[in-house]
Amino acid sequence: MSRIAAKFAALRQEGRGALVTYLQAFDPDRETYRAILHGLPAAGADVIEVGVPFTDPMADGPSIQKAGQRALKAGATAAGVLDLVRSLRTLDDTTPVVLMGYYNPILTYGVEAFCKDAATAGADGLIIVDVPPEEADEVEPHATANGLDLIRLIAPTTDEARLPKVLAATTGFIYYVAITGITGTRSADYASMAPTIANLKRHTDLPVAIGFGIRSPAQAAEAAQAADGAVVGTALVDTLAASLDSEGRAGPDTVKNVLGQVSGLAQAVRAARKVAA
Amino acid sequence: MNKPLPNSLRQGPDGRGRFGEFGGRFVAETLMPLILEVEAAYEASKKDAAFQAEWRRLLTHYVGRPSPLWYAERLTTHLRKKAAPGKGAKVYFKRDELNHTGAHKINAVLGQILLAKKMGKTRIIAETGAGQHGVATATACALMDLPCVVYMGATDVERQQPNVFRMKLLGAQIVPVTSGAATLKDAMNEGLRDWVANVHDTYYCIGTVAGPHPYPAMVRDFQSVIGTEARAQMLEAEGRLPDVLVAAVGGGSNAMGLFYPFLDDKDVAMVGVEAAGRGLDTHEHAAALSRGRPGVLHGNRTYLLQDGDGQITEAHSISAGLDYPGVGPEHSWLHEIGRVQYVGATDDEALEAFQLCSRQEGIIPALEPAHALAHVIKAAPEMPADSIMLMNLCGRGDKDIFTVAKHLGENI
Ligand SMILES: Cc1ncc(COP(=O)(O)O)c(C=O)c1O
């Protein structure tokens, strides 16, 4: 069983949803990010999304755009990101790692080589924001051959007619985008999403994580209860950014503040037991 | 209508929006359903006689089409002075700078805004570089009573002040974009972000033959009015087709508009002129085809300026309308199959051409077609005197006089 499937199965046994964290690799620099990454499992992250920086993140708001700029300035490359994943795997062999980013850096690396190297480094899945199912035939064979899940976003705009096509192209888990919009702009009423998720589940057996706009522990708990997981990204990136000096360099509290926030979110998610289905 | 021949170059894109390997629909899931809706609406509009008639009516009575074909006689004579005996092509201009709003952009904007209305969209967004597409979109929105938001890089807001004020007068809201180099690429990112957040009521009016399918094909089809007119006008004026077509290439819409109706005319050569900025061998240019390599940005696979890690690099050009690190996917395909030759013209060459055109022809061109003219100046004297070169004079220079004055050290 893949790490992703094993993790969601274990959490189902526990009767709770997953806390999925997103930060961008190399933000604000490689070693600070490495310290955060290594600390995430103990702080309570159940699934770790590692953002692969790109100059033109068209689905991201200002916070994650700036994170990308800091990361690129710090020398982020796709190969460098995979090195970081490899270093996590020397300490942790169970927490799933999902690489999330845009297509062009992967294309430049070589799709086949990237999938192979990502799997070897210990990554478990990919989210490529700008590769919809219509274009996925370039990626799918290589991801499958290397045992990487292709996690897809389902948006409020994804209609019933399109849903089966998107679901058929998804493995690992489903990332339900709670708002029509980019990251870090608006929040939704996550508690009210249970019917939407139930409807999704009529079409799929995959776990569903809700993301976009989740900032507080209470929101994370609601989302994790309404679905199988809550993704928190911009709120963590904002905490990280607030700890930096005026030059964008890590401060003494950067690692501590980010991991502290993850702990708070994790406690809330753990306290929110799922009603037995 | 003539059906394209089986071996025609005018059959693209395929069902996936590809020209060869270029193009496609590389967008986030949130946009995907809407992109498919735009495609369906556009396909329906092609067969909708009322839609086509309304677009034609606007082109005739609002834009002022057909634009004239002008034999640039003084320029031709001037260039022959430097040419060897028997050399020096006859130079013609397709005068899309005479269009209402001063550039070719209005051709595709009117088509797209009519489409938006037909789709029931009530809010229009656009990106703009030089401001010509923004002005055209703001104009169409004023005419059709739709709210309009224009994303424009902060750098471009600075260097295209007259167009910024024009858009304001027309009732548009201008949003300066400060991310990246604050130019056209960044404005397009913001346009896409706005669209993702407002898909329910908003239509994104893209200003060139780039973006996800169906935009490259749709904008090309609307702009093809340029080449279709020019072809008929040339046959009437000279009784034959031109030997070479020349057009500036930013995203590539004025060039595709001129080239497309001639693609199957094997004896007509075509040259696309990219902005070579401070030189093709410096890092400061916008020559995606000459110096870039294929990648994926803004919804399509195409030639891009990028570094070894697939990060997009900043373009540079004196011309805000050419200052873009990508190019429309159909150009990438025409480049790879060798049907069109792509060359560069530098900032200085464009400035030179800008002044020459003003003095020789009494036409102040935009800095974008001044790049095309810079190539004409180089190439016409090498061609036989009985050959014909047709250049797309796709915009007028009113918007550029402050930039040019600054470069010439004049205070106005
Ligand atoms: C007059 C003019 N020509 C050319 C361009 C470049 O665009 P394209 O290559 O799509 O024609 C612009 C863009 O702003 C323009 O204003």
> Are residues B75 and B187 located together in one domain of the fold?
no
Nearest CA to ligand 1 atom 13: B321
For chain A, give the number of residues.
277
Give the lowest-confidence range in A6-20, A180-194, B338-352.
Answer: A180-194
* Residues of chain A contacting B33 with CB distance shorter than 8 Å: 157-159, 162
- Residue A67 predicted with pLDDT over 60: yes
Supply φ then ψ for residue B75, to 5 degrees.
-65, -40
The burial class, CB within 10 Å (0-12 / 13-18 / 19+), for A165 is: middle
Does residue B7 sit within a domain? Answer: no
Could you report the per-residue pLDDT of A9-32, keeping only the tens digit for each? 999 999 999 999 999 999 999 999
The nearest alpha carbon in chain A to B196 belongs to: A181
Domain that holds residue B232: 64-102+224-407
Predicted pLDDT at B160: 87
Q: Which residue, of B219, B238, B258, is where some domain finishes?
A: B219
Determine the 3-state secondary structure of B204 from DSSP: strand
Predicted pLDDT at B4: 59
Q: Do residues B392 and B410 lie in contact, with contact meaning Cβ atoms separated by under 8 Å? A: no
Spacing, Cα B259 to ligand 1 middle (Å): 15
> Are residues B177 and B119 located together in one domain of the fold?
yes
Beta bridge partners of B388: B90
Question: What does the domain layout of chain A look like in residue ranges?
Answer: 3-272
Give yes or no for B33 touching A (CB within 8 A). yes
> Are residues B44 and B140 located together in one domain of the fold?
yes
**B160: Cβ below 6 Å to ligand 1?**
no
Are the beta carbons of A106 and B310 separated by less than 8 Å?
yes
Can you tell me the distance from the alpha carbon of B172 to that of B151, in angstroms, rounded to the nearest whole number? 10
SS3 labels along B114-170: HHHHHCCCCEEEEEECCCHHHHHHHHHHHHHCCCEEEEEEHHHHHHCHHHHHHHHHC
Per the annotation, the verdict on A49 as an active-site residue is yes
Are the beta carbons of A155 and B198 separated by less than 8 Å?
no
- Residue A251 predicted with pLDDT over 90: yes
- Residue B1 predicted with pLDDT over 50: no
Nearest CA to ligand 1 atom 10: B253
A72: confidence class by pLDDT, cuts 50, 70, 90: very high
> Are residues B68 and B144 located together in one domain of the fold?
no
> Are residues B195 and B332 located together in one domain of the fold?
no
Determine the 3-state secondary structure of A238 from DSSP: helix
Does residue B329 sit within a domain? Answer: yes
Q: Do residues A27 and A244 lie in contact, with contact meaning Cβ atoms separated by under 8 Å? A: no
Instruction: Choose the closest CB to A130 out of B28, B308, B309.
Output: B28
A275: confidence class by pLDDT, cuts 50, 70, 90: low
User: Which of the residues A46, A49, A140, A149 is marked catalytic?
Assistant: A49
Are the beta carbons of A72 and B311 separated by less than 8 Å?
yes
Average pLDDT over residues B341-367: 98
**B135: Cβ below 6 Å to ligand 1?**
no
**Which one, of B156, B158, B171, B58, lies nearest residue B124 by Cα?**
B171
- Quick one: DSSP state of residue B66? S
Are the beta carbons of B189 and A56 separated by less than 8 Å?
yes
Are the beta carbons of A55 and B193 separated by less than 8 Å?
no
For residue B253, give the ligand 1 atom closest to its CA: 10
Q: How far is B29 from chain A (nearest CA, A)?
A: 6
B377: confidence class by pLDDT, cuts 50, 70, 90: very high
Are the beta carbons of B309 and A105 separated by less than 8 Å?
yes
- Residue B224 predicted with pLDDT over 70: yes
For residue B249, give the ligand 1 atom closest to its CA: 9
Does residue B3 sit within a domain? Answer: no
Count of helices and strands (H, E) across chain B:
16, 14
> Are residues B241 and B288 located together in one domain of the fold?
yes
Can you tell me the distance from the alpha carbon of B21 to that of B357, in angstroms, rounded to the nearest whole number? 38
Show the tokens assigned to B25: 């629909």
Spacing, Cα B282 to ligand 1 middle (Å): 23
Supply φ then ψ for residue B254, to 5 degrees.
-70, -35
| Probe residue for ligand 1, chosen from B215, B394, B396, B401 as the CB with the greatest number of ligand atoms within 8 Å | B394
Could you report the per-residue pLDDT of B74-111, keeping only the tens digit for each? 999 999 999 999 999 999 999 999 999 999 999 999 99
Domain count, chain B: 2
Does residue B54 sit within a domain? Answer: yes
Give yes or no for B116 touching A (CB within 8 A). no
Q: Choosing among B14, B16, B27, B29, which should be mutated to test the A contact, i.e. which has the most A CBs within 10 A?
A: B29
The ipTM is 0.96
- Which residue in the block uniquely carries the two structure tokens 């190399």? A26
B3: confidence class by pLDDT, cuts 50, 70, 90: low
Instruction: Choose the closest CB to A132 out of B29, B298, B304.
Output: B29
Can you tell me the distance from the alpha carbon of B65 to that of B46, in angstroms, rounded to the nearest whole number? 20
- Residue B2 predicted with pLDDT over 70: no
Predicted pLDDT at B6: 64
All residues at 6 or more sequence positions from B317 whose CB lies less than 8 Å from its CB, including other chains = B275, B277, B285, B286, B323, B347
Give yes or no for B312 touching A (CB within 8 A). yes
> Are residues B73 and B46 located together in one domain of the fold?
no
**B365: Cβ below 6 Å to ligand 1?**
no
Q: Which residue, of B180, B197, B219, is where some domain finishes?
A: B219
Does residue B412 sit within a domain? Answer: no
Per the annotation, the verdict on A247 as an active-site residue is no
Q: Do residues B78 and B376 lie in contact, with contact meaning Cβ atoms separated by under 8 Å? A: no
- Which residue in the block uniquely carries the two structure tokens 């400060």? B178
Q: Which fold has domain A3-272?
A: TIM Barrel (3.20.20)
Residues 176-215 of A with CB under 8 A from B: 177, 179-182, 185
Positive or negative: CA dihedral B210, B211, B216, B220: negative
Could you report the per-residue pLDDT of B299-327, keeping only the tens digit for each? 999 999 999 999 999 999 999 899 999 99
**B106: Cβ below 6 Å to ligand 1?**
no
Does residue B277 sit within a domain? Answer: yes
Predicted pLDDT at B180: 77
Predicted pLDDT at B179: 85
Count CB neighbours of B233 within 10 A. 18
Are the beta carbons of A130 and B296 separated by less than 8 Å?
yes
> Are residues B177 and B307 located together in one domain of the fold?
no
A276: confidence class by pLDDT, cuts 50, 70, 90: very low
Q: Do residues B359 and B285 lie in contact, with contact meaning Cβ atoms separated by under 8 Å? A: no
Average pLDDT over residues A162-180: 95
Q: Which residue, of B219, B254, B273, is where some domain finishes?
A: B219
Are the beta carbons of B196 and A180 separated by less than 8 Å?
yes
- Which residue in the block uniquely carries the two structure tokens 């051709």? B107
Determine the 3-state secondary structure of A115 from DSSP: helix
Does residue B2 sit within a domain? Answer: no
Q: What does the buried/exposed string (b/e) look like for B195-205 if buried means 16 or more CB atoms within 10 Å of the residue's CB?
A: bbbbbeebbbb
The domain that holds B310 is classified in CATH as 3.40.50.1100
Supply φ then ψ for residue A23, to 5 degrees.
-140, 160
Does residue B1 sit within a domain? Answer: no
B130: confidence class by pLDDT, cuts 50, 70, 90: confident
Positive or negative: CA dihedral B91, B92, B94, B97: positive
> Are residues B158 and B41 located together in one domain of the fold?
yes
Give yes or no for A168 touching B (CB within 8 A). no
Percent of chain B whose pLDDT exceeds 70 = 99
User: Which of the residues A46, A60, A117, A238 is marked catalytic?
Assistant: A60
**B174: Cβ below 6 Å to ligand 1?**
no
Average pLDDT over residues B8-35: 96
Percent of chain A whose pLDDT exceeds 90 = 95
- Residue A143 predicted with pLDDT over 50: yes
